[in-house]
Amino acid sequence: MWHLVVPISLEDKKLAITVFSFPPDKRNVGTAAYLNVFSSIFSVLKELQGDGYNVEGLPETSEALIEDILHDKEAQFSSPNLNVAYKMNVREYQALTPYSTALEENWGKPPGNLNADGENLLVYGKQYGNVFIGVQPTFGYEGDPMRLLFSKSASPHHGFAAYYSFVEKIFKADVVLHFGTHGSLEFMPGKQVGMSDVCYPDSLIGNIPNVYYYAANNPSEATIAKRRSYANTISYLTPPAENAGLYKGLKQLSELISSYQSLKDTGRGQQIVSSIISTAKQCNLDKDVDLPEEGVELPTKDRDLVVGKVYNKIMEIESRLLPCGLHVIGEPPTAMEAVATLVNIAALDRVEEGISSLPSILAESVGRNIEEIYRSSDKGVLKDVELLRQITEASRGAITSFVERTTNSKGQVVDVSNKLTSILGFGINEPWIQYLSDTKFYRGDKEKLRVLFEYLGECLRLIVADNEVGSLKQALEGKFVEPGPGGDPIRNPKVLPTGKNIHALDPQSIPTTAAMESAKIVVERLLERQKIDNGGKYPETVALVLWGTDNIKTYGESLAQVLWMIGVNPIADNLGRVNRVEPVSLEELGRPRVDVVVNCSGVFRDLFINQMNLLDRAVKMVAELDEPAELNYVRKHAIEQAETLGIEVREAATRIFSNASGSYSSNINLAVENSSWNDEKQLQDMYLSRKSFAFDSDAPGAGMSEKRQVFEMALSTADATFQNLDSSEISLTDVSHYFDSDPTNLVQNLRKDGKKPSAYIADTTTANAQVRTLSETVRLDARTKLLNPKWYEGMLSSGYEGVREIEKRLTNTVGWSATSGQVDNWVYEEANTTFIQDEDMLKKLMSTNPNSFRKLVQTFLEANGRGYWETEEENIEKLRQLYQEVEDKIEGIDR
Ligand code: BEZ
Ligand code: MG
C-alpha cells in the first residue's frame, strides 16, 4: 500500500528532546558523558530556529534554560520536583499505554510513587513552541536495595511509560532526540536484538523515530541503542585532550630533578637527592616508587636510579591525556586544542599503513630503538627517562610547528589540504624539519616524517571538521546520515569527523592477529608483575572483565588476553572469521596455563555472543587436556570443582559469566551513586546474584543460565583481579562501571585463606602499554583528575555540569574503596583540602550547583562514616555544618 507522504514544514515539525537524570536527582538533570548538555541543546535550538523551527519562548541563555527545566514554578514550598509539563491521570495513562498492565507485576497499580503525585503521573520538562524538552525518568529502583539485589531484570515503571505515552500521543512528536550518552530506555528488559512487541524498549519507543546524540567513543552502547530502540545515532566528539601537566609539589619535584641533572657532579648531588626524596614523600609518591631514607648517603649510581624512578613517575603523570571540560555540540576543537590529540595519534606505529610513529623516528635519529627506551625508562634509568622526555618534547614541538602553519590568525584550520601541498616535500622548509633542526633529533628520516605528517594533516582536518549539527538536520528531515565507526580517535582516526551514525565491527573478526600480539605483551607483564609481588608464584586464577567497548576499540585485545592466559591461539577461517582455537603447547607457552573467571558486561554479551562461545569452548578444551595439574590450573580447578559438586569436569570448567539475558551491570554502581547500601557484603551479594549467569557452549541456544556455585568456587581460587583501560578519555573514576565490575573484595571474602587478591589494571592507552596495580592506577587517576587544578578548573569552566563532574569523581572513588579497598587515605584528605578547605573554591561550588555540592559534602561524610577516610574531627565538623548550610540554601532556592 502506498502512503502519500506530505512533508511537514520545519515550522510545524514537533521535536521531543529527551535528557537524562542519572542518578535520579535534580543535580543530575542533563547528564551525558563528556557533554555540556544544556549549552548544547541551547546552541542546537538556536541553529534550528534559524532554519525555521518553532522554538517560541526559548530563554535567552542556556543558564536560563536550565532554570526553566529544573524548577517547578507552581511549587509552593521546597520541592524536589522539576518543572511539570503534563499531569496525566490514571485513566488517560491506561488508555494511552496498552502495556501498562504488564508493569503492574513489578510496580503495582498506577500511578505508583515514581514520577507521580498520588493521583497523576507527572511528565517533567518544558515546551517551547514545537519543541518539548523532557526529562527521561530513571529505572526507578536505584534507591531500593532490595530491588537492586534481587531484580534479575525489571520493567519500566508507570512514570517511565507515561513519559513516552505523552511524547508520542499527547505532544505528538514527529521525532524524539535523545540527548547524549546515555539513557535507560534501550536497557529495559526484552530481547537482545530483534525486538518483539513484548520487549519493553519496543513498547516504549512506540512509533516515534529516534535520533540519538551519542559519544563517538562508545560504539558498544551505541549499538545497543540502535538494535534495541531503533536509534539513528549521531556521534559527538569527546572534549579536546590536554596533557595533565604538573602542579604544586609535583611541579617542584620536576624542578628539583632538572637541577639534579645539571648539578649532580658538583658535590650538591646528595643534597638535591635528599630534597627530591622528601618532596616525593610529601606528594605521597612513596607508594609508587621505592624511596630510601632521607639523609642516607647514596652512591652516585643509586642516586641516579632514585631520581630516574621519581622522574619516570612524574613524566607519566605529566603526559597523561585528559579530556578537558565538556563538549558542546557543534563546537569542534581549535587546531591548537587538537595538538595533544595529534601528538598521541603520532605516537602509534601504523604498520599496515606504512606509517612510523614520531617517537620511533626520533629515537632512530639518535641511534636508538624506541621500545628499548620505553623499557629502560620504566626501570628508572635516568638518562633514558631524560631521553624519552626530550623525545616527547620534540614530538610536541614538531607537531605544534606544523599545526601553526595550517591555521589562520584566529586559530582556525583554514584549508589543510592546500596548506599541506604547499608545505610537503619542501625539504628543509617543512616546519617540522625546521623545528627538529634545532634539536638533537635533526637527523630524523625526512621521508618517514613526510609520510607521517601527511597523515597527521588528514587527521587534523577531520578533528576540526564539524558535522554534528549538520547530521542532525539531515536526520530530522528523514534524510541519510553517513555511517562511520565508533571508537577511539587516537587509535582509529576514521572515527572522525563526528556527526556519524555509529557502527561497531564484525564481531566474528576479532581478536585480530595484531590484538593477539598486544594481548600477549600485557598478559606476560601481568604475570611477571604478579610473580614479583607474590613470591615468584604464578597466579592460579585471574578474575577479569570483558567489555564490549574496549574490544571494539582494540579489535579484541582483552578477549585475546583471556585466550593467552589459558594458552590457546585463535584460528580464523578462510573468510577471516575467528571460530576455532588451538592449544599452544606447554613448551611453547613456557609457563602454566592460568585459570580465568571471565565477567562479561551485559553489553559484551549482547554484542559478542559468538566470542563467548569461543571462549567457553577454549576453557573446556584446556580443562580436558591431558596435562599435569601444576601446569594447567584450569584443569586442576575443574577437577576439584567437579568432585565437590558431583558434576563432569567439562561442566565444572564453566568460566564465562555475565548477567541474565536482558539485564546489565552488577548494580553496585547504582547502589553507590545513590548511597543506598548498608555494607560491603550487600554489594558483594549483588555482584554474585546478578553476575553468576554462565554461557554454555554445550547447550546451544539456551542463553545464560545461573551457575552460582561454580561462579563462587572459581572466584575463590583467584589470586588476582584484572581490568583494562583502553583509551585516554575514560579512566577508573570517570565512570561508575569500572568499580561496578570489580570483584576484589568479593574474592577476598570467598577465598579460603581470606587473602586479598592482587588487583591490576592494564593501560594500553599509550604506545608504551603498562600493567599497574589498581591502587597505583587509582592514585594516578586522582593526581591527574580530581586533584589536578588543570582538570577541575577546566570542569568548573563548564559551570553547573562541571561541579557535578567533580562530585562524580569523588563518588566513584568511594566506589573503589567499597569494592576493593585500594584507595589511600591521602586521596580523600587532599580532595578535602582542595574543595572544602579552600573558601573560594567552596563558595564557587556551592553557588554554581548547590545540589551537586551537597552530594559532594555528603560523599566526604560517607567516606569517613564508612571507614574509608580518617581525618581530624574538625574536618568532619566543618562538613556537617556545610551540609546544613547547603540544605538551607537549596530550600531557599526552591521556596
Ligand atoms: C561495555 O561496553 O561493555 C560497557 C559499556 C558501559 C558500561 C559497562 C560496559
Ligand atoms: Mg553505561
DSSP class per residue in 585-644: PHHHH-SPBPEEEEEE-HHHHHH-HHHHHHHHHHHHHHHTS---GGGBHHHHHHHHHHHH
Please count the CA atoms within 13 angstroms of the CA of 493 that sit on its side-chain side: 21
Ligand 1, atom 7, lies closest to the CA of: 737
Instruction: Return all residues near 174 (Cβ < 8 A) that are at least 6 apart.
Output: 8, 13, 14, 15, 208, 209
The answer to whether 236 and 213 have CB atoms below 8 angstroms apart is yes
Measured over the CA atoms of residue 111, residue 113, residue 115 and residue 120, the dihedral's sign is: positive
Query: Exposed, middle or buried: residue 851 (CB in 10 Å: 0-12, 13-18, 19+)?
Result: buried
Q: How far apart are CA 586 and CA 581, in angstroms?
A: 15
End-to-end CA separation in angstroms for the chain: 57
- Ligand 1 neighbour 605 (Cβ under 6 A): no
Atom in ligand 1 nearest the alpha carbon of residue 665: 8
User: What's the CA-to-centroid distance between 766 and ligand 1, angstroms?
Assistant: 21
674: left (phi over 0), alpha (psi -120 to 50) or beta: alpha
Mutate to test the pocket of ligand 1, among 603, 611, 725, 730 (most ligand atoms within 8 A of CB): 603
Place of cell 604464578: 538
Q: Is the CB of 601 under 6 A from ligand 1?
A: yes
Positions of the chain with pLDDT under 50: 1, 75-78, 894-895
Length of the chain: 895
State residue 771 phi and psi, 5-degree precision: -115, 115
Q: Output the pLDDT for position 78.
A: 41
Residue 735 CA, closest ligand 1 atom number = 7
All three cell numbers of 377, joined, read 625508562
pLDDT digits (tens, 9 = 90+) for 700-713: 988 899 999 999 99
Q: Which amino acid is at 308?
A: G
Amino acid occupying residue 120: N
- 583: three-class secondary structure by DSSP: strand
Which ligand 1 atom is the nearest neighbour of the CA of 551?
2
Cβ atoms of 627 and 586 closer than 8 Å: yes
Q: Would you call 572 helix, strand, or coil by DSSP? A: strand
Helix ranges (H only) for 406-430 are 416-423
Distance 554 CA to ligand 1 centre (A): 14
Phi/psi at 535 (5° precision):
60, 35
The ligand with the least distance to the CA atom of 187 is: 2
Residue 759: Cβ within 10 Å count: 27
pLDDT at 785: 95
Report CA torsion sign: 383, 388, 389, 395.
positive
Centroid of ligand 1 to alpha carbon of 601 (angstroms): 6
From the CA of 218, the nearest ligand is 1
**pLDDT reported for residue 88:** 98
Cα-based distances in Å from 259 to 269, 309, 439, 784, 839: 9, 16, 21, 24, 35
Residue type, 57: G
Nearby residues of 519 by Cβ (< 8 Å), 6 or more positions away: 511, 557, 558, 560, 561, 563, 564
Helices 446-464 and 382-405 sit at what angle, rounded to 10 degrees?
60
Sequence-separated (6 or more) residues with CB below 8 Å from residue 73: 83
